Structure 1
Amino acid sequence: MSLIGHREEISAFREALDSGRIHHGWLLAGPQGVGKARFALAAATRMLAEAAGPPVSLPGLDVPTTHPIANYVTQGSHPDLKILARLPKDKSEELARSISIDQVRSLQSMFATTPSFSQRRVVIIDAIDDLERPAANALLKNLEEPPAGTIFLLVSHAPGRLLPTIRSRCRLLRFGRLSDSEMARAIAEADPELPTAEVDALVAVGEGSPGRALGFAGLDIAALDATMDALASKGDPTNALRSDLARKLGLKAAQPRYEAFLERVPARIAAEAKRRHGQAGTDAIALWEQARAIGDSAVRLSLDPQTTVFELGTLLTRLAA
């Protein structure tokens, strides 16, 4: 598995691995969508491959796709690798709100036996922020008395909200946002059929997070941003621009684009607030707070999409005023 960016993080982990005294718990912290889970899987694959053999000579955390351990990991059948994540609920695509204590307790059956291919085992939790409180307490016992040869890789988007006792038992590896060139490479690799213009637009809205950017793929986000820019710079004295946008995004088929609009409007106002000073900056912050409140409640409370779009558009026009 090839990782994009995060050279310092790879180097730090590689140095610990080569020392032969690697810490049993790693907290992979940083913004959502920058590649922390991908790093965890690559690190797990490399550790398991080196422990079981044959030797791996590639740099960093890379492992040849022909390596037998890589095949097991790719197929999701490696007996010494356990990945905990939120599960689908009620046989639907919707995921449960948290990782349950039963999922954490399921680790005990793996710990009760010897590893299958080597003396190494790896547990990935993506994300540890999703653990319900009893599950976090159950995991803490494993971190306090880690089974021999077991490495825990804990993905976290908000490490400050974790139990201090969990943070204190892990080595922190902090991940930053990707550069524009790294973003473009990651997006193009994830979806090779995307035209260059859309890749560039996704880089602009992704804010250094390929995961975030790809969530906007196929939604013509550049046109949506252009409309928001027009509202924010020129206003909408005849209501025509807001009415047209509300009609288009209010269609049932436009739900993904509507949800993207809900997310993009607060971001657009926040960017403007950073450029303003004095009362103008204070006013923009107030608009951002209103936009964020509307965006957060629109889907949850099933607000009328057309009315919501028009209202958010109105907030944008106040930037022009």
Structure 2
Amino acid sequence: MILGQDRAVDQFLAAWQKRRLHHAWLLAGPRGVGKATFSRAAASRVLADAAGPVRGDGLSVPDDHSVMRLIAAGSHPDFRFVERLERPTGGLARNISVAQIRGLGDMLAVTPSISPWRAIVIDAADDLEASAANALLKMLEEPPANTLFFLVAHAPGRLLPTIRSRCRRLDFDTLGDDAMTSLLSHQFPDKNPAQIRAAAGLAGGSAGRAQRAATLDLASLEQAALTIMTEGDPTNARRSALAGQLSGKASAERYAAFLDLVPSLIAREARNFDAARRNRAIHAYGKARETASLAPRLTLDPGMTVFHLGSILADLALKR
């Protein structure tokens, strides 16, 4: 489902239907607005159509289509999805490596297997290490016939100008309220309208952030943090309750989200403060950002870190 990005979908479909496709597409826009979903859908439609016309509007292809089954299984010989790899010790690698990009050469060196077309998705091109970007540039400079590159870019300005110049750019916008509500209602039928609105409100127009907010119930964390920020915590009970909720391995994802949430909350609420309190909020924002950045790198205790962030919030309330 690609909601709120009709312009990008229409532009790509018009080019495909006329068989006037640029070989490389730069999908530019904020995180979580549908760029990777679009790239998979566009690649699937091209590969399915090329193997035999597909009925239906837009980019949709039936799930039981042979091309869709192969892509879902990761075994389509003419499709590659390149992203950061898992580290043996856990977590994702910092960058997409040059070896991953050079590895595409094996596919590009032979004739496509199922149809005349091939498709490669790089998610995200921002993550390419320098040597990988240069290796990709060589492929874009001399692309094999009927090969499509989809470069997902959250910050296209970070890409090599020579890469950008060889791509047709499609811009993806943040999603409006209607699109966000529709998407979340479809994906979380068990959530009530108030929960859907709360998740959408935390997302800033990003479907990815909205889905994460709904899955992790971040609205309740935000409300707890906001209560500390507005009413204080004279008995430490509120901070202790939050620290208890976010300690332990089972709470790792919610804890990581809380680290992001606190600085954003301070920045948002500071807009409504008077000048004196806004200055304190600026200082608090810096401390919260520093804590949120250092805690994972230094493997600080989650409970103590949450309590400390709560103290930063409470300090804003106590000194009003």
TM-score normalised by structure 2 residue count? 0.90
Q: Within 2, Cα distance between the matches of 1:82 and 1:131?
A: 16
Alpha-carbon displacement from aligned partner over 1:257-305 (angstroms, at most 9, x marks no partner): 3222211111110111233464443432232122111111112112233
Residue equivalent to 2:46: 47
Of 172-181 and 6-15, deviating more is 172-181
Q: Within 2, Cα distance between the matches of 1:22 and 1:200?
A: 39
1:64 to 62, 65, 86: 62
How do residues 208-219 of structure 1 correspond to structure 2 at under 5 angstroms?
208-219=205-216
Q: Within 2, Cα distance between the matches of 1:110 and 1:256?
A: 37
Q: Please give the root-mean-square deviation of Cα atoms over the aligned residues, in Å.
A: 2.2
Q: Within 2, Cα distance between the matches of 1:310 and 1:66?
A: 50
1:156 Cα deviation (Å)? 1.2
Does residue 135 in structure 1 map to residue 132 in structure 2? yes
Does residue 258 in structure 1 map to residue 238 in structure 2? no
Q: Within 1, Cα distance between the matches of 2:182 and 2:149?
A: 29
For residues 299 and 13 of structure 1, do their structure 2 counterparts lie closer, same or farther at Cα, with a shift above 3 Å needed?
same
1:104 Cα deviation (Å)? 0.9
For residues 201 and 132 of structure 1, do their structure 2 counterparts lie closer, same or farther at Cα, with a shift above 3 Å needed?
same
2:271 counterpart SS class: helix
Q: Within 2, Cα distance between the matches of 1:150 and 1:251?
A: 47
Of 253-262 and 26-35, deviating more is 253-262
Residue equivalent to 2:227: 230
Q: Within 1, Cα distance between the matches of 2:67 and 2:196?
A: 34
Residue equivalent to 1:81: 79
Alpha-carbon displacement from aligned partner over 1:206-254 (angstroms, at most 9, x marks no partner): 2222222333445432322221121121222333322333344344543
Q: Within 1, Cα distance between the matches of 2:214 and 2:227?
A: 22
Of 69-78 and 273-282, deviating more is 273-282
Residue equivalent to 2:291: 294
Q: Within 2, Cα distance between the matches of 1:302 and 1:73?
A: 38
Residue equivalent to 1:8: 7
Residue equivalent to 1:23: 22
For residues 67 and 299 of structure 1, do their structure 2 counterparts lie closer, same or farther at Cα, with a shift above 3 Å needed?
same
- Structure 2: gaps spanning 5 or more residues: none
How do residues 81-230 of structure 1 correspond to structure 2 at under 5 angstroms?
81-90=79-88, 93-194=90-191, 196-230=193-227
Alpha-carbon displacement from aligned partner over 1:89-139 (angstroms, at most 9, x marks no partner): 22x652222211111111111111111222211111111112111111100
Of 199-208 and 250-259, deviating more is 250-259
Of 181-190 and 71-80, deviating more is 181-190
1:204 Cα deviation (Å)? 2.2
Q: Within 2, Cα distance between the matches of 1:5 and 1:33?
A: 12
1:211 counterpart SS class: helix
1:215 counterpart SS class: helix
**Identity of counterpart residues, as a percentage?**
49
Code of the residue aligned with 2:76 in structure 1: it is H
For residues 212 and 238 of structure 1, do their structure 2 counterparts lie closer, same or farther at Cα, with a shift above 3 Å needed?
same
Alpha-carbon displacement from aligned partner over 1:171-204 (angstroms, at most 9, x marks no partner): 1111122223322333344444445554333222
TM-score normalised by structure 1 residue count? 0.90
Alpha-carbon displacement from aligned partner over 1:75-97 (angstroms, at most 9, x marks no partner): 3222111111122222x652222
Of 122-131 and 309-318, deviating more is 309-318
Q: Within 1, Cα distance between the matches of 2:9 and 2:249?
A: 44
Q: Within 1, Cα distance between the matches of 2:216 and 2:73?
A: 32
For residues 298 and 182 of structure 1, do their structure 2 counterparts lie closer, same or farther at Cα, with a shift above 3 Å needed?
same
Report if the CA contact (8 A) 2:213-2:219 is conserved. no
Q: Within 2, Cα distance between the matches of 1:252 and 1:143?
A: 43
Report if the CA contact (8 A) 2:26-2:164 is conserved. yes
1:159 Cα deviation (Å)? 1.2
Of 41-50 and 17-26, deviating more is 17-26
1:15 counterpart SS class: helix
Q: Within 1, Cα distance between the matches of 2:16 and 2:313?
A: 51
For residues 191 and 87 of structure 1, do their structure 2 counterparts lie closer, same or farther at Cα, with a shift above 3 Å needed?
farther
